[in-house]
Amino acid sequence: MYNQISDLRPLAGLTNLQTLGLGANQISDLGPLAGLTNLQNLGLGANQISDLKPLADLTNLEWLDLMYNQISNLEPLAGLTNLEWLDLMYNQISDLRPLAGLTNLQTLGLGANQISNLEPLAGLTNLELLYLYNNQIRDISPLVANSGLGSCDGVWLEDNYLDLTSGSAAMADIQTLLHRGVDVHYQPQIQNNPPTITTVTVLTDPQLPGSTIQVTGTFTDPDPGDIHTATWTWGDGATSEGTVDEATGTVTGSHAYTTPGTYTITLTVTDSAGSSGTGTATITVQTPAEATADLREQVAELELQKGIGNAFTVKLDQAIAALNSGDRDGARDVLNAFINQMKALKGKKVAAEDADALIAMAQEIIDSI
């Protein structure tokens, strides 16, 4: 213990060893220990270990200290069924499934990891001391399901995300364990932070009635492991569920408005503790006449040869007049004439790219009339 050992190869032949203490060194490679199958007690705390594969066949181990390392994968421990004492505190563990069969465990240290799912512990009925503080635990029902946890046993659950408000599921579970005689340590818990909406972006604005708009929002939540749901409120009486991508912190949604106007879109993101944040954006849904006026402006900006430009804008003025007087058929006819003329001049008097964009706009207006 407490040396600067990093190379374990000289120990590889000591196959009769039953107890070995190598804590507080600079060990990362456990390969030379793979054949020491008589080991019953092995101390490896405070090293630089991430790979536990060499321990997989040390099935006589009863006492194993691995605290303060860089371990995330417990798979190699799955067959060490004689373990009674296992310390894995201060690592990077989130998946406990490999421990599910270690039913002789009496002391299990899992504090200061990234654990949220305790289900693999439900069958470890010989547990007496269970350290789970400083993780991401919200649900302790698997501990209630563990029929072995009772009088004289201790569970440490401080600094997780348990909901300690009276009547919550977590409080009910804590009460159940306390009534069974378990010494439950559960205060304080980590304060949950609400999500913050950082942006709400309408991907096409303005828009015409009937066409589907795409929106995207981004959010942050400082609490690791939080799961989020999202709701879009469109401002026209409709709401819909947002699609959440936890990895990127984005929410997407889409909606089609039926009536022109200016609407406030509200995004609400709610975390697994029930706290929420909101963000807004506005969208303008134009009347066909307003959209045609926009189209006219874009044609004017192209600075086409005078006669050609006039031919287009005159048609669009006619369309606006028709729309304003309720003559939908007339408006459609003149917009179709606009499109035909644009097609005829596309790539000649009007750049192909510009013509395509203007034709698409005109078609959208026709579709919305």
The two tokens of residue 299 are: 């044609």
Q: Could you tell me if 55 and 77 are in contact, meaning their C-beta atoms sit under 8 angstroms apart?
A: yes
Nearest C-alpha neighbor of 44 from the set 83, 5, 98: 5
Cβ closer to Ca ion: 139 or 271?
271
Please name which of 113, 191, 125, 119 lies closest in space to residue 156, comparing C-alpha atoms. Answer: 113
Closest approach of Ca ion to the CB of residue 222, in Å: 7
* Cβ nearer to Ca ion, comparing 91 with 268: 268
Task: Kindly state the smallest distance separating residue 195's Cβ from Ca ion, in Å.
Answer: 6
Chain contacts with Ca ion (rule: CB under 5 A): 192-193, 221, 223, 226, 271
Our CB check for Ca ion shows the closer of 29 and 223 to be 223
159 or 226, CB closer to Ca ion?
A: 226
**At its nearest, how many Å lie between Ca ion and the CB of residue 57?**
43
Give how far Cα 328 sits from Cα of 320, 323, 331, 368, Å: 10, 6, 5, 10
**DSSP structural state of residue 267:** E
Least distance (Å) from Ca ion to the CB of residue 223? 4
Q: Rounded to 5 degrees, what angle do the CA atoms 239, 240, 245 make?
A: 140
Q: Looking at beta carbons only, is 272 or 318 nearer to Ca ion?
A: 272
Give the DSSP letter string of 338-362: HHHHHHHHBTTTB-HHHHHHHHHHH
Q: Which is nearer to Ca ion, 139 or 153 (CB)?
A: 139
Q: Where are the beta strands (DSSP E) in the chain?
A: 19-21, 41-43, 63-65, 85-87, 107-109, 129-131, 154-156, 183-185, 196-202, 212-220, 228-233, 239-245, 250-256, 261-271, 276-285
CA 319 – CA 315 distance, rounded (Å):
6
Find tokens 């006449």 and name the residue: 289
Residue 248 beta carbon to Ca ion: minimum distance, rounded to whole angstroms:
17
Output 161 or 257, the one with its CB closest to Ca ion: 161
* Listed residue (365, 113, 350, 161) closest to 273, CA to CA: 161
Q: Work out how close the CB of 253 gets to Ca ion at its nearest, in angstroms, rounded to a whole number.
A: 21
In whole angstroms, what is the distance from residue 120 CA to residue 168 CA? 23
* Least distance (Å) between residue 170 CB and Ca ion: 16
Least distance to Ca ion, CB of residue 111, Å: 21
Task: Spell out the residues 6+ positions from residue 280 whose beta carbon is closer than 8 angstroms to its own.
Answer: 200, 264, 265, 266, 267
CB atoms inside a 10 Å sphere around CB 362: 23
Question: Residue 113 or 270: which CB sits closer to Ca ion?
Answer: 270
